[in-house]
Amino acid sequence: MSATLLVSDLDPFAPEFLGDPYPAHAALRDAGPVVRLERYRTWASARHAPVRAALLDHETFCSSAGVGISDFRKEEPWRTPSLLLEADPPEHTRARRVVAGVLSAAAMRRLAEDFMSAADELVARLADGEPFDAMTDLATAFPVHVFSEAVGVPDDKRENLLTYARMVFNTFGPRNELFRNAVADAGPVRDWIAQRCRAENLLSGGMGAEIHARAAAEGFTGEESAMLVRSFLSAGVDTTVHGLGNALWCLAQHPEQFAALRSEPDRARAAFEEVLRFEAPVQTFFRTTTREVELDGVTIGDGEKILLFLGAANRDPRQWPDADVFNISRRATGHVGFGFGIHACVGMAMARLEGEAVLTALARHVRKIEPTGEPRRMLNNTLRGLESLPLRLVPA
């Protein structure tokens, strides 16, 4: 028998928690390696070692019962489950191979120049010392543009990508107000996404068209291929929007870290990695046990949901010296912001390229990042990020 601590009142999806999760993360980590969340009758872990161990053991901690709080074996999923995210081997392996082929290192080398010049142009234009909203005009504008161009999403109502992703990330949580508001009146956006996923609506030469071609060659039906494009459109934009927004916020709050980046623009990639550790855009994911298992000394029964706090694992003092300090010079590798194991973010090279492009452009063109007002936080059951970030960029 292992001792378990009942954290009866903690609601990790309540607005107060989502607004500032870090004190509660510390309490969860200190309570034990694995704790019980009474309110939702699930298990949870906020420490780095067990979170990483669970992500690596995909047979015991499966994804096919959903990676949100809803158990697909008991509840009807709100949308057709993803062939990638909400699947286990061997189905997952087949789908992953197609998508990974499209997001290869060679594909990233082809995108790099475009991403770098798009970021350079945008940041150079914004760095005029005038106040602007860095969420709208930079952190959102850049990914929506470069992602849509790379994937081949036509330039019409692309902002629907953000609405849809926000909905997807809210639906990993419980049916609280965030969930209900997200799915209310979702019909038109869902229809728009479904249309954009079809081969005939994707621009030729883009990654979306390539998904269809590669998937067809592997024996996927047209409908299944469209589902793989849906994964792109679900996971590819809002994540990088908030990664970039969090980066701008971190650098604005820590001028000495921005000065360090300016003195050595080659540190842009490492700096973005530290942002993902320090302010992980994807804060949580669930897994479901396929057998009774002991995780870091705590026994979890078969068929149980467990909430993995990626953002808390990334600040576990058992793993990181000065875990709560934002330091672009540290080795942030080993953070779980992209997950770990067979489900680790398949688009991480593209996300890193976007981060590198924007941070390099900031290092080149900007002398100071100055807040000009209070940022407004966006609350989401899974994502951590900002709604608005007023600042000005003093030109170099």
Can you give the binding site for ligand 8QM, defined by CB under 6 A? 82, 84-85, 168, 230-231, 234-235, 239, 282
Between residues 43 and 285, which has the closer beta carbon with respect to ligand 8QM? Answer: 285
Residue 41 phi, psi (nearest 5): 50, 50
Query: Helices in the chain by DSSP H: which ranges?
Result: 15-19, 22-31, 48-56, 91-102, 105-126, 134, 141-151, 160-170, 177-183, 187-196, 207-217, 222-235, 238-253, 255-263, 268-278, 310-313, 348-365
Q: How far is the CB of 186 from ligand 8QM (least distance, A)?
A: 15
Comparison of 261 and 282: residue with beta carbon closer to ligand 8QM = 282
- Tell me whether residue 26 or residue 100 sits nearer to ligand 8QM (CB atom): 100
3 state SS of 371: strand
Task: Give the residue with the Cβ less far from ligand 8QM, 258 or 340.
Answer: 340
* CA nearest to 124, candidates 337, 358, 303: 358
* The residue type at 275: V
Q: Give dist(CA 234, CA 165) in Å, integer.
A: 5
Query: Are the C-beta atoms of residues 232 and 208 closer than 8 Å to each other?
Result: yes
Shortest distance in whole angstroms from residue 42 CB to ligand 8QM: 19
Smallest separation (angstroms) from ligand 8QM to the CB of 17: 20
- Of 170 and 289, nearer to ligand 8QM (C-beta) is 170
Q: Terminal CA-to-CA distance of the chain, rounded, Å?
A: 62
Distance CA 203, CA 196 (A): 10
What is the Cα–Cα distance from 361 to 349, expressed in whole angstroms? 18
Smallest distance from ligand 8QM to CB 239, Å: 5
Shortest separation between residue 228's beta carbon and ligand 8QM, angstroms? 8
Closest separation in Å from C-beta 230 to ligand 8QM: 6
* Minimum gap (Å) between residue 30 Cβ and ligand 8QM: 27
Q: CA–CA separation, 185 vs 201, rounded Å?
A: 24
Based on CB atoms, which residue is closest to ligand 8QM, 69 or 252?
Answer: 69
**Beta pairing class for 305-309 and 42-45:** parallel
- HEC string of 112-152 equals HHHHHHHHHHHHHHHCCCCCEEHHHHHHHHHHHHHHHHHHC
Q: How far is the CB of 261 from ligand 8QM (least distance, A)?
A: 26
Q: Which is nearer to ligand 8QM, 86 or 133 (CB)?
A: 86
Measured from the CB of residue 241, what is the shortest distance to ligand 8QM in angstroms?
Answer: 12
Judged by beta carbon, residue 42 or residue 382, the one nearer ligand 8QM is 382
Q: Which residues contact 173 (CB under 8 A, 6 or more apart)?
A: 13, 68, 69, 179, 381, 382
Q: Of 234 and 327, which has the nearer Cβ to ligand 8QM?
A: 234
| SS3 annotation, 161-203 | HHHHHHHHHHCCCCCCHHHHHHHCCCHHHHHHHHHHCCHHHCC
